[in-house]
């Protein structure tokens, strides 16, 4: 079956060359970009010295000739490996054997002379390859062609349905990355198999699997297998190693057959999975007394809003019913999703909690409060741009330095305040510590009133 994400189809010879070249080039580019653009930092990658290169990815892809639109419609090829800057993904059809103890996927073929070139690909099956910090927690897998009897492992388990192998390492556990790097890519990669697919997890975190078990079970009728455990050699006739990735919290609708893949359908899927009742936000009519619900995501450790109580009072005065909440590791996701879905407006300071926008009804409003420190672009990439595909209205409230706790800590002519951009060039740690971890926000109610009024107005249309 033809699948556009694997559109790079090559003649057998070119294909072998491509695997090696693409890998070398992407490694070189990744390394050089890592050093050149280190200041392009990603605020949500909270766990380390992470680098996000998403903004430059389109440019890199063009340079490397990763032109997904250049579709060569040849006959179906048995193996496609597309090694993109953000995510590796190999689709293999035929005699495929997975030997976990060496993290190797064998593609047994007699049609290719395996001694004629490089026949193996190093694949990290997690969709945030450019974050070197995340990838430290993602196992290297090898996809290899094999036609020498001595190299081919014996099957100990045969399966008649396809498998998808992915890593639960990386940044899992951060709500944003759970959805952006895992849930949406898993959905995009597995939907076409109509639940007849085996999920093979590597770098497995059992708590992650249980947190999303309900959702995973809607995508696969089979048991989820921790592939790193046990000594089995699992054999399949169709395997996908890695996940499809498009953009943060986005699905590329043009890459699906029958238009089945879209954020619209993904949100419908979430509504079914978590029994979310509301498809549409409240539609206010003039003179009506109905109150729209506003949820304030209240961060507890960093980037706090210090005057949530005052904002709550203001919002109530403007006619909102207000809920203040934040999910944590022990929150029942289904229950939390239902609370979010009952709201018409979701607001919070830039951070993983805003990912809950996926549960909002259509036409609801997302208000992102952008802290001081020049992270507007990231903020917009993470939540502004995705809101469009989710049928949400997006409002941004960029704080002034007077609303930031940084103004109390540094004199106004200090580089942290005067020169945020050049300070960021010093690297991730400086940005992370100062602008993301050492900044609380006290919202100016006079300024913010306008934003809440706009949200109310949107709900009237």
Positions that interact with ligand NAG (CB under 6 A): 20, 23, 62, 67, 69-70, 101-102, 113, 115-116, 118, 120, 122, 136, 138-140, 155-156, 158, 231, 235, 304, 327-328, 330-332, 334-335, 405, 438-440
3-state SS class at 60:
helix
Nearer to ligand NAG, 167 or 190 (CB): 167
Residue 74 burial class via C-beta count within 10 angstroms: exposed 0-12, middle 13-18, buried 19 and up: exposed
Q: How far is the CB of 151 from ligand NAG (least distance, A)?
A: 11
Both tokens of 104, joined, read 């190797």
Nearer to ligand NAG, 22 or 284 (CB): 22
Least distance between ligand NAG and beta carbon 122 (Å):
5
Please report the sign of the dihedral spanned by the C-alpha atoms of residue 152, residue 155, residue 159, residue 163.
negative
Record the tokens describing residue 318, joined without a space.
């403007």
Q: Give me the least distance between CB of 95 and ligand NAG, in Å please.
A: 8
Q: How far is the CB of 99 from ligand NAG (least distance, A)?
A: 6
Which residue's CB is nearer to ligand NAG, number 118 or number 217?
Answer: 118
In whole angstroms, the minimum distance from the beta carbon of 220 to ligand NAG comes to 20
Q: In terms of CB distance, is 216 or 263 closer to ligand NAG?
A: 216
Q: Considering beta carbons, is residue 317 or 433 the nearer one to ligand NAG?
A: 433
183 secondary structure, DSSP code: I
- Whose tokens are 């062609």? That residue is 145
Pairing of strands 345-349, 293-297: parallel
d(C-alpha 141, C-alpha 139), whole Å: 6
From 247, 257, 264, 128, select the one nearest 194 (Cα to Cα): 257
Q: How many CB atoms lie within 10 A of CB 55?
A: 13
Helix or strand holding residue 376 (H, E): helix 376-379
Residue 312 CA: distances (Å) to CA of 290, 321, 359, 439, 457: 18, 9, 22, 21, 18
Q: Which residue, 109 or 440, is less far from ligand NAG as judged by CB?
A: 440
Which contiguous run of DSSP H or E holds residue 89?
strand 88-99
Please say which residue, 258 or 330, places its beta carbon nearer to ligand NAG.
330
**How far apart are CB 318 and ligand NAG at their closest, in Å?**
26
Q: What's the CA gap between 305 and 349, in Å, rounded?
A: 8
> Rounded to the nearest whole angstrom, what is the least distance from the CB of residue 211 to ligand NAG in the complex?
10
CB of 104 to ligand NAG, least distance (A): 9
Is the CB of residue 358 less than 8 Å from the CB of residue 383?
Answer: no
Sort 247 into a burial class: Cβ within 10 Å, 0-12 / 13-18 / 19+: middle
Q: What are phi and psi of 99, to 5 degrees?
A: -110, 110
Asked if 302 and 352 touch (Cβ cutoff 8 Å), the reply is no
Cβ proximity to ligand NAG, 152 vs 318, nearer residue: 152
- For residue 108, the cross-strand partners are 95, 146
Would you mind telling me the total number of residues written for the chain in this entry? Answer: 461
Q: Which is nearer to ligand NAG, 140 or 254 (CB)?
A: 140
Distance separating alpha carbons of residues 348 and 369, to the nearest angstrom: 6
User: Quick check: 345 and 294 in contact, CB under 8 A?
Assistant: yes
Cβ 140 to ligand NAG shortest distance, Å: 4
Nearer of residues 176 and 274 to ligand NAG, judged by Cβ: 274
In the bound complex, what is the minimum distance in angstroms from residue 23's beta carbon to ligand NAG? 5
Q: What is d(CA 250, CA 231) in angstroms, rounded to the nearest whole number?
A: 37
Q: Report the nearest approach of ligand NAG to the CB of residue 209 (Å).
A: 14
Minimal distance in Å, beta carbon 394 to ligand NAG?
25
Nearest to 442 by CA among 402, 414, 415, 409: 402
Q: Indicate the residue among 337 and 456 with the shorter CB distance to ligand NAG.
A: 337
- Residue 272 or 328: the one with the smaller Cβ distance to ligand NAG is 328
Q: What is the DSSP letter of 220?
A: B
């Amino acid at each position: 079956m033809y699948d556009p994400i694997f559109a790079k189809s090559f003649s057998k010879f070119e294909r072998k060359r491509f695997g090696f070249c693409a890998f070398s080039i992407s490694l070189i580019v990744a390394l050089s970009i890592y050093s050149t653009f280190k200041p392009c930092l990603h605020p949500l990658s909270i766990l380390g010295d992470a680098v996000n290169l998403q903004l430059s990815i389109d440019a890199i892809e063009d340079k490397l000739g990763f032109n997904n639109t250049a579709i060569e419609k040849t006959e179906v090829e048995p193996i496609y490996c597309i090694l993109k800057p953000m995510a590796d993904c190999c689709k293999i059809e035929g005699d495929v054997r997975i030997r976990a103890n060496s993290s190797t996927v064998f593609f047994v073929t007699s049609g290719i002379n395996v001694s004629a070139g490089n026949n193996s690909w190093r694949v990290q099956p997690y969709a945030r390859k450019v974050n070197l910090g995340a990838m430290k927690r993602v196992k290297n897998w090898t996809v290899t062609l094999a036609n020498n009897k001595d190299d081919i492992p014996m099957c100990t388990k045969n399966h008649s349905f396809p498998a998808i192998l992915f890593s639960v390492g990386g940044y899992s556990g951060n709500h944003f990355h759970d959805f952006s790097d895992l849930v949406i890519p898993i959905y995009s990669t597995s939907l076409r198999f109509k639940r007849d697919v085996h999920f093979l997890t590597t770098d497995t975190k059992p708590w992650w699997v249980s947190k999303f078990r309900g959702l995973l079970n809607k995508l696969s009728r089979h048991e989820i297998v921790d592939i790193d455990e046990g000594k089995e050699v699992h054999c399949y006739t169709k395997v996908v190693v890695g996940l499809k990735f498009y953009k943060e919290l986005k699905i590329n609708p043009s890459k699906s057959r029958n238009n089945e893949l879209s954020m619209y359908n993904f949100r419908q899927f979430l509504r079914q999975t978590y029994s979310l009742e509301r498809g549409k936000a409240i539609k206010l009519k003039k003179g009506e007394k109905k109150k729209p619900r506003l949820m304030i995501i209240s961060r507890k450790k960093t980037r706090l809003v210090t005057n949530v109580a005052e904002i709550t009072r203001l919002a109530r005065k403007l006619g909102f019913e207000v809920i203040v909440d934040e999910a944590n590791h022990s929150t029942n996701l289904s229950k939390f999703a239902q609370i979010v879905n009952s709201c018409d407006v979701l607001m919070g300071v830039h951070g993983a909690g805003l990912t809950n926008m996926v549960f909002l009804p259509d036409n609801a409003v997302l208000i992102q409060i952008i802290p001081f420190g020049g992270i507007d672009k990231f903020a917009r990439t993470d939540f502004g741009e995705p809101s469009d595909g989710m049928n949400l209205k997006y409002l941004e409230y960029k704080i002034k330095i007077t609303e930031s706790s940084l103004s109390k800590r540094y004199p106004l002519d200090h580089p942290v305040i005067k020169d945020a951009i050049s300070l960021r060039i010093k690297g991730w740690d400086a940005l992370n510590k100062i602008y993301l971890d050492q900044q609380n926000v006290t919202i100016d109610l006079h300024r913010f009133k306008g934003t809440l009024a706009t949200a109310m107005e949107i709900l009237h249309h």
